Structure 1
Amino acid sequence: MLKEAIYHRPKNNFAYAYDEKTVHIMMKSKKQDLDRVDLLYGDPYIWKDGAWQYKTKEMKLSGSDEWFDYWFAAVEPEFRRLRYGFECSGQAESIIYTERGFYAELPKDIGSFFAFPFLHAVDAFKAPEWVKETVWYQIFPERFADGDPHLNRKDTKKWGTSPDKTSFFGGDFQGILNRLDHLQELGINGIYFTPVFQAETNHKYDTTNYLAVDPQFGNKELLKNLIRECHRREIKVMLDAVFNHSGYCFAPFQDVLKNGEKSKYKDWFHIHRFPLQEGDTIHYDAFGFEKAMPKLNTENPEVRNYLLQTAVYWIKEFDIDAWRLDVANEVSHDFWREFRRAVKSVKPDVYILGEVWHDSMAWLQGDQFDAVMNYRLADTVVDFFAKGKATANQFKNEVSHLLHSYPLSVNEAAFNLLDSHDTPRILTVADEDKESLKLTFLFHLSFIGTPCIYYGDEIGMTGESDPDCRKCMIWGESEQDRDLFHFVQKLIELRKKIPAFCNQGDFAFIDLHPAAVSYTRKNETETLLFIINPTEQTVEVNLPDHFKGMANLWTGDSLESSAALIQKKGFLILYKQK
């Protein structure tokens, strides 16, 4: 038994309050090293005849990655307090693992055990419940639809021509309003808009005025109408805020440019020295080294108040449902804690999504974000299904590692995407292989979390990195891939219709064939089995007895055989209810 690999920490993803009465506990060990782990737990104040009274619960092997096995148990402490340890069995030996190390026998001093001092409901991570049922659709407003040509700039290019990084095509709020039927037909119930606030560029990530909509898109009343119409159709709305940096034409920054050290706004930014620029060198912090995006000093009380008032204003006045926060990892945790308190005090079920591309546990402890953009999962899914860069085992290892990096409550609200305005389009990454794309969508829309579709992916749009991934939406049906549209539509329909397909079902990989990816989604009344064959050959899968007789969810047929043939780049979804 490799004791050095056995690990638990009573914090974060290893021990946390799942809800007001349940504690989730996880331990990890070297892969295939232990045969069984039992959780030993009890209230620290319950003793009898001088002995601590504890219970034993067998932990579930909840998954494995390349190096580790993960063991999981959920317990409901009667008095909301816990002391606990682990009995680890394997290699013909059994040991007790505690906070103070390993013991051959159960130590009598409970001070040796791990402690969960008290389960406070307020400490449980709580994302809005509605998010778990949401399928998002990301819209880049400038490229979605031109509904009012009178708003177009003089340099507006013809819709559908090739973009460059400075192109304008005239997309606006009216265009989105005109095309909501398309989104409703697809089945989405959440829209994520990239920034709509006044700015100089087509992407609007260089905010000029945080309290004004960009006139290229329309006016505030039109935006209100758009949001009201979305809500009437039961579609949530998420706006994009850029609080890490402003635009070059932001009035306070222009004041600093004009008045230098005498500017009352000089402390709104991170200025190294004056003048602000000498040649190509800037003397202030920016997003990267982009001089047009000066970094805001969120430790300055005036800046902080301005941004917090901005966040509250758009919720109060426009009834938005969510904020997506750009470059969120470069803003202080302290600011985001205050941001959460401010927006949740106005609308408790507002969804807060941070742009963080790497491990994000520091932001996901219930005091800052409800989710981050799950690029870690996106990279894993895209590498396997679209690029063919990983084996089935490598894919399963990475997904398991990611799932066990966070609490279940975090995974249920995770914002899962395949591509975005910052990446090449998924079909292009898949070398325009539509069958591989369908398998990617299948996994994406049957996985735990809240999935997002980038505009146009559902009709087969292609595009390399910016600016090509920001091409104009294709609206001529003869130019759209309607078969792909209906495929995605059906997956979304199943996700809405079957709780276990969505977030009301445990996720677990199951090994049925070395080249295929198989997994289950289960709850107390439903079982789903997914088998995905990403290869160029038909594979035969022998099903365990308890999967026999399940219905083929895609075709409606019943599978009576113990063997299933999965065609090349094909799939099988089996379903049964108790």
Structure 2
Amino acid sequence: MVIQTPEWVKNAVFYQIFPDRFAISQPPQGYNNYLQGANLEPWEQLPQLQTYKGGNFWGIIEQLDYLQELGINAIYFTPIFQSTCNHRYHTHDYYQVDPLLGGNQAFREFLKQAHLRNFKVVLDGVFNHVGRGFFFFNDILENGPHSPWLNWFMIEGWPLSAYDGTYPANYASWVGNRALPKFNHDEPQVREYIMQVGEYWLNQGIDGWRLDVPNEVVAEGFWQEFRQRVKQVNPEAYIVGEIWCPAEQWLDGTQFDGVMNYQFTEATIAFCGGDRILKEYVEIPPYYPYPALNAAEYAQKMETLLARYDWQIQLTQLNLLASHDTARLLTVAGEDLDTVKLSTLLLLTFPGAPSIYYGDEVGLPGGIDPDSRRSFPPKSDWNRDLLKYHQQLIHLRHEYTSLRTGDYQVLFVNSHVYIFSRTSGSETIVVAVNNGEQAHNVTLNASKLDLNIDRILFGDGSFSVETNSNQKILKLNLSARSGLILK
């Protein structure tokens, strides 16, 4: 079969936003029914598991200029629907944006403003489980075996114990957490309900869905139908799954357009960070940015990864270095900025859509949840050098087609140096990374590789081209712990 994936994703640079923590503001005049809430944790204070900061879509609208200047053209939000937790994975109503975020009216205004600036918007679809306050489950709590919605969940006995941990919960829930009842996806009404939710928000104007723990939805044909229904509304809608492991099962062209590419994440951090990676921050999530990789080992992992899926799928993978489910890279790397920079360079030159976790571009630290979900910092706390580094690399990705959709070829590896090219038509970009503590000189036969390097686009180091016995020799001088991009 010919696999088709959304064209816009191949040209996208994503920004992942945890809505409670990114920005907060008041609505413009005329939006008088906004419920701001009280008892909010101070914005600058380190977050606790159950506290709210009060971030909202009014604040996000005001930050669209900043995101445009950074070079972002797509936003992925963690859940935004009505819920009783700050991360909003405990859904109460899939048709209502959480009132603390500004409700449906704020989201509609955000969507309008975002699309006027050519941003794409992807929402988090939590379709495996719900919160206890979800109407259909709440009816079971109230009416027991007499509820008309009994088959929507997997009830195992009576009486249900939704809150008292001294008794069995007696219903299936996500990882045994009684706060998160699990849908019965074999029930036709549940299936149709979720399909309609997916269609509804696409009709409201969103551009895709990120699917939470989709590997746990095992009903036969569920995701195939979801894709069909979604693509009927918008053939260019993006469907990306949260799959941490190799994902051939879901990336066959009949289900998802891509997954959150933690296979790229772990290898890239292990190569760029090496022994600097602090194990206490990476042992809980199911990814493995350790042990350290040398350049040859990294090259082998990248080639294996690129051979795993169809090229059209590769171009719509969601590549990332951190997310709300991991510690932030700066903290993982023991505050080593070179690790962050090298990893970011590889992120923004690899096939697929790069995704930046909010605040990483200005040096926001953070350990394991909830610390990784800190509030976006004031300008006085920004690392301006790191922000400029991100802006420059994002600009290059937008400027050169080969960095977005070009072929990927490894040109050279040794223990510390990794060099590859991205080629689209007559345009070739060469990317060289040195993860070592010493500068390295590298010589390549440019004639054999059909390279005609004429200038440096980005990075530290130098190059020269010599002709020797009718052969063109490319010599690179790579500074320690740095990268170089040439055209």
Q: TM-score, structure 2 length as denominator? A: 0.89
Q: 2:285 aligns to what?
A: none
Paired residue for 1:147? 25
Contact 2:244 2:260 in 1 (8 A): yes
Summarize deviations over 1:83-135 as a string: whole Å, max 9, x none.
xxxxxxxxxxxxxxxxxxxxxxxxxxxxxxxxxxxxxxxx3111111110000
For 1:512 and 1:205, the matched residues in 2 are separated by 43
- 2:51 is the alignment partner of 1:163: no
Is residue 299–residue 413 contact of structure 2 (8 Å, CA) maintained in 1? no
**Which of 219, 223, 247 lines up with 1:360 in the alignment?**
247
SS of the residue aligned with 1:536? coil
User: What secondary structure does 1:309 align onto?
Assistant: helix
Give the whole-Å Cα distance in 2 for the aligned partners of 1:194 and 1:244: 15
Indicate which of 206, 212, 216 corresponds to 1:330: 216
The amino acid that maps onto 1:455 is Y
1:553 equivalent in structure 2: 457
Identify which of 128, 135, 138 aligns with 1:244: 128
Within a 5 Å distance, the mapping from 1:243-322 to structure 2 comes to 243-277=127-161, 279-316=166-203, 318-322=204-208
Q: Note if 1:226 corresponds to 2:110.
A: yes
Per-residue CA deviation, residues 293-331 of structure 1 (Å, 9 max, x unaligned), is 000011111111111111111111x20001111111111
Deviation per residue, 1:442-477 (Å, 9 max, x gap):
000000011100000000000001000000001x32
Per-residue CA distance 1:401-420 (angstroms, 9 max, x = gap): 11111111111111111110
Q: Secondary structure at the match of 1:543?
A: strand
User: Does the aligned pair in 2 maintain the 1:512–1:543 contact within 8 Å?
Assistant: no
Q: What are the superposed Cα offsets for residues 68-90 of structure 1, whole Å, 9 maximum, x if unpaired?
A: xxxxxxxxxxxxxxxxxxxxxxx
| Distance across 1 between alignment mates of 2:324 and 2:227 | 26
The amino acid across from 2:407 in the alignment is D
Question: Which residue number corresponds to residue 9 of structure 2?
Answer: 131
- Give the drift of 1:154: 2.1
* Number of the residue aligned with 2:435: 534
One-letter amino acid of the structure 1 residue matched with residue 395 of structure 2:
E
Q: Which residue of 2 aligns with 1:490?
A: 392
* Pick aligned residue for 1:567 from 457, 479, 483: 479
Q: Using a 3 Å threshold, how does the CA distance of structure 1 residues 358 and 545 change in structure 2: closer, same or farther?
A: closer
For 1:531-552, what per-residue CA distance to the aligned partner results, in whole angstroms no more than 9, with x for missing partners?
1011111111113233465311
Q: Deviations over 1:173-207 (max 9, x none)?
A: 00100111110000010000111100000000010
Query: Contact between 2:296 and 2:414, CA under 8 Å: does it hold in 1?
Result: no
Partners of 1:549 and 1:212 in 2: CA distance:
54
Q: Distance in 1 between matches of 2:210 and 2:241?
A: 6
Q: Does 1:417 align with 2:320?
A: yes
Residue 176 of structure 1 is matched in structure 2 by 60
Which residue in 1 is equivalent to 2:469?
Answer: none
The corresponding residue for 1:407 is: 310
**Structure 2 Cα separation of the partners of residues 558 and 399 of structure 1:** 25
> Contact 2:459 / 2:483 at 8 angstroms: preserved in 1?
no
1:449 maps to amino acid: G
* 1:164 alignment partner, SS class: coil
Deviation (angstroms), 1:523: 2.4
Query: Which 10-residue stretch deviates more, 195-204 or 220-229?
Result: 220-229
Q: Please say if residues 459 and 484 of structure 2, whose CA atoms lie closer than 8 Å, have aligned partners that are also in contact.
A: no
Separation of aligned partners in 2, 1:346 and 1:165? 37
Q: Is the 8 A contact 1:196 1:204 kept in 2?
A: yes
Identity %: 40
Aligned positions, number: 450
Would you say the 8 A contact 2:295–2:413 is kept in 1?
no
SS of the counterpart of 2:486?
Answer: strand
Letter in 2 for 1:397: Q
CA distance change for structure 1 residues 238 and 552 in 2, over 3 Å: closer, same or farther? same
User: Hey, what's the Cα distance between the residues in 1 that align with 2:366 and 2:384?
Assistant: 18
Runs of 4+ in 1 over 3 A off after TM superposition: 149-152, 545-549, 555-562
Match of 2:420 among 519, 533, 537: 519
Mapped to 2, the partners of 1:572 and 1:559 lie a distance apart of 13
Distance, in Å, in 1 between the alignment partners of 2:252 and 2:86 is: 35
Alignment of 1:444-483 (within 5 A): 444-474=347-377, 476-483=378-385
Query: Does the C-alpha gap of structure 1 residues 258 and 328 become closer, same or farther in structure 2, counting only changes over 3 Å?
Result: same
Match of 1:370 among 253, 257, 266: 257
CA contact (8 A) 2:47 2:374 kept: yes
d(CA) in 1 for partners of 2:423, 2:318? 21
Contact 2:295-2:414 within 8 A present in 1 as well: no
Secondary structure of the structure 1 residue equivalent to 2:327: coil
Q: State the alpha-carbon separation in 2 of the partners of residues 425 and 498 from structure 1.
A: 29
Distance in 2 separating the partners of 1:555 and 1:206: 44
Contact 2:459 2:482 in 1 (8 A): no
Q: Which residue of 2 aligns with 1:348?
A: 235
Are 1:427 and 2:339 counterparts?
A: no
Q: Aligned partners of 1:163, 1:404: CA distance in 2, in Å?
A: 41
- Partners of 1:262 and 1:463 in 2: how far apart? 47
Structure with greater proportional strand content: 1
- What's the offset of the Cα at 1:483? 1.1
Trace 1:389-400 onto structure 2 (pairs within 5 A): 389-400=292-303
Deviation at 1:280, TM superposition (A): 4.5
Could you give the per-residue CA deviations for residues 498-539 of structure 1, whole angstroms, max 9, x where no partner exists? 111111x11111225432111111122011111101111111
> Following the alignment from structure 1 to structure 2, what is the Cα–Cα distance between the partners of residues 265 and 450?
40
1:230: Cα distance to partner?
0.8
Q: Using a 3 Å threshold, how does the CA distance of structure 1 residues 271 and 570 change in structure 2: closer, same or farther?
A: same
Using CA pairs below 8 Å that are at least 6 residues apart, which structure has the higher relative contact order?
2
Answer whether contact 1:548 1:559 (CA < 8 A) is retained: no
Quote the Cα distance in structure 2 between the aligned partners of 1:234 and 1:383. 35
Deviates more, 1:515-524 or 1:273-282: 273-282
Q: Paired residue for 1:203?
A: 87
Counterpart of 1:525, as a letter, is S
Separation in 2, partners of 1:386, 1:180: 32
> Aligned with 1:143: secondary structure?
helix
Q: Report if aligned partners of 1:268, 1:303 keep a CA contact under 8 Å in 2.
A: yes
Q: Which of 342, 349, 354 is the equivalent residue of 1:439? A: 342
Amino acid of the residue matched to residue 62 of structure 2? N
SS in 2 for 1:157: coil
CA distance in structure 2 between the aligned counterparts of 1:526 and 1:169, rounded to whole angstroms: 47
| Matched residue SS, 1:446 | coil
* Paired AA for residue 282 in structure 1: A
Could you list the runs of 5+ residues in structure 1 that have no partner in the other structure? 1-122
Structure 2: gaps of 5 or more residues: 28-33, 276-291, 467-473
Instruction: Please tell me whether the aligned partners of residues 82 and 92 of structure 2 are also in contact (alpha carbons under 8 angstroms).
Output: yes
1:555 Cα deviation (Å)? 6.9
SS in 2 for 1:293: coil
Q: CA RMSD in A?
A: 1.7
- Cα distance, 1:264–1:487 mapped onto 2, change above 3 Å: same
